[in-house]
Each structure stands twice: as C-alpha cells, then as structure tokens.
Amino acid sequence: MSRPVACLIIGAVLLSQMPRAYSLDAPIRTRAQVIHAMVVLGCRPYDADVWATYILAECYDATPRGEPPPDPLLVVAIISVESNFHERDHYKGNYCGLMQISLRVHRRAWPINGHPLRAADLYEPQLNIRIGITILRAKLAKYHSVERAVTAYNVGHWPGHANAYCRKVLKRYRQVTP
C-alpha cells in the first residue's frame, strides 16, 4: 500500500471517530459539561464557572438561525491549546487573551465605542471569547470541516493539510467529548 493511500485511510478512520462538532444535529452541551471539560483540561474551577456562560452564549445564542453552532467543547479545546486558560496570555505581543486574537488583524473589525480595538480590550475574557468564536464560526461555515476550520483558525486559511496545532486541539477535544 502506498504512503498517500495509507494516510488517507488513517485520516478517514480518525475522522469517523470524531464527534459531530459542526452540524445541525450536533449534541447540545450543558453548562456542567462545559465546566467539566474546562477543569479536566486545566482551567481553575472559578474561571470555568464564569467562562462557560460566555462560551455557551456565543455558541448558541449568537449563532444565526439555521446555521449550526460550533461545539462549545471544541471552543474549550482551542482555548486550552491557545492560552492554557490564562486570560492575560500573549504571544509575540500581537496575539492576546484566552483565544489568542490577533490585534493587528482584528483592530478595525471590532470597534469599541467607535474606537479601534486595543490590546487591553482583548484581555477581557467575554470579548475575547466572542471574537474567537465568531472567527471559528466563520471558518466552520467556509470549510465545512472541523479539521480544516481549526487549522485555518490557527494559520488564517486552509493550507491543504492539518498541522500539529490542529492535531493537538482535536486530541484535547476527543479527550473531553463524551
């Protein structure tokens, strides 16, 4: 068997084992499930209690009608990889907060009271989660694939293959998915 064929077979098996994270018939997650997943992946219980509310509101309440919501447990897995649940985390001074939002890319797209977004704004968990889930939702709608959307969330576009970041997120996602 050639290597590309073997890789395709392994990929198909892994995807068949993936929970349905982006479809209208995806399971609805409870607040308790989201809090549990966050704590399992290393979040402090108090923060998990507060942030679970933001995640559920953005996944379910802010998703347009007829569009499948992203799975909150996928969002939890992304946050665990991006910032390890540290809301003041930053990378190279440009990526900030729980979901590591790029200030350079999103400064003008998310004005606050008529002013461009500032780095300090991105350290506010509720806003950071709102922007991150909006970005993820757009990637899921564009690529119709969790693997492609997660990779694109990380690099900005689908490069044609899943990267180590995607594999790490999906591993954590499977770890907390019932």
Please report whether residue 7 resides in a domain: no
Query: What percentage of the chain reaches a pLDDT higher than 70?
Result: 85
**Within a domain: 88:** yes
pLDDT of residue 57: 94
Q: Is residue 3 part of a domain?
A: no
Pick 94 or 72 by higher pLDDT.
Answer: 72
- Structural domain that includes position 170: 31-176
Question: Which pTM value belongs to this model?
Answer: 0.84
The single-letter code of the amino acid at 75 is V
Other C-beta atoms lying within 10 Å of the C-beta of residue 2? 7
Tokens of 79: 């946050």
Q: Confirm if 69 and 25 have CB atoms less than 8 A apart.
A: no
Averaged pLDDT, 69-83: 97
User: Does some domain include residue 44?
Assistant: yes
Report the CATH number at residue 88: 1.10.530.10
Domain count, the chain: 1
For the cut 50, the answer to whether the pLDDT of residue 172 exceeds it is yes
| Contact (CB, 8 A) for 99 and 166 | no
41-69: average pLDDT:
93
114 falls within a domain: yes
3-state secondary structure of 91: strand
In a domain, 8, yes or no: no
Phi-psi map region of 97: left, alpha, beta (phi>0 left; psi -120 to 50 alpha): left
pLDDT-derived band of residue 123, with 50, 70 and 90 as boundaries? very high
58 close to 13: Cβ distance less than 8 angstroms: no
State percent of the chain over pLDDT 90: 63
Higher local confidence (pLDDT), 91 or 165: 165
Give yes or no for a contact between 139 and 152, defined as CB atoms under 8 angstroms apart. Answer: yes
Asked if residue 113 is part of any domain, the answer here is: yes
pLDDT(9) > 90: no
pLDDT for 23: 63
Mean pLDDT calculated for residue range 130-151: 94
In a domain, 4, yes or no: no
When pLDDT is averaged across residues 159-169 and rounded to a whole number, the result is 93
